[in-house]
């Protein structure tokens, strides 16, 4: 017997990690199967800027100061191999493997939309 209700076991026990921002008291919880960025969004926090959530736009760049993590492929436009080795990552492509201490490191993205300036937004 198989119905769709059984497709998602809801009682899986998972270790939840704490992600804390350097020099601030705020922190949020992240289970290992969702990215640090999405975990932050689900916790209703705004410590890291959110863009594409796919490792392409660079907006969510952070430095991992402390802790273990797993990362998926990230666009080389924003993370060089050296940066990657030093723990600079895109939060939407990393998954916590322990508690983490992080620091936002958003790249300069020129928002020329001069138009945006003009409209006073």
Burial 9-45, CB ≥16 within 10 A → b, else e? eeeeeeeebebbbeeeeebbebeeeebbbbbbbeeee
Site for another protein in 67-106 (CB under 8 A): 72-77, 92
| Of the candidates 86, 80, 46, the residue with the CA atom closest to the CA atom of residue 65 | 86
Of 58 and 87, the one with the shorter C-beta distance to another protein is: 58
Of 37 and 100, the one with the shorter C-beta distance to ligand FES is: 37
Report the residue from 43, 52, 65, 101 that binds another protein according to the rule CB under 8 A. Answer: 52
**113 lies in the binding site for another protein (CB under 8 A):** yes
Report the residue from 20, 21, 36, 60 that binds ligand FES according to the rule CB under 6 A. Answer: 60
Cβ neighbours of 101 (radius 10 Å): 16
Residues engaged in binding ligand FES (CB under 6 A): 37, 50-53, 55-60, 90, 92
């Amino acid at each position: 017997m198989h119905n769709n209700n059984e497709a998602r076991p809801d009682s899986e026990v998972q270790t939840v990690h704490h992600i804390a921002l350097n020099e601030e008291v705020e922190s949020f919880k992240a289970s290992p199967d969702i990215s640090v960025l999405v975990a932050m969004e689900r916790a209703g926090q705004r410590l890291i800027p959110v863009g594409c959530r796919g490792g392409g736009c660079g907006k969510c760049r952070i430095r991992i100061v402390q802790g273990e993590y797993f990362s998926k492929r990230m666009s080389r436009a924003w993370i060089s191999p050296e940066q990657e080795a030093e723990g600079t990552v895109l939060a939407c492509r990393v998954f916590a493997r322990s508690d983490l201490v992080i620091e936002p490191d958003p790249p300069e993205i020129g928002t020329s939309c001069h138009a945006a300036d003009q409209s006073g937004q």
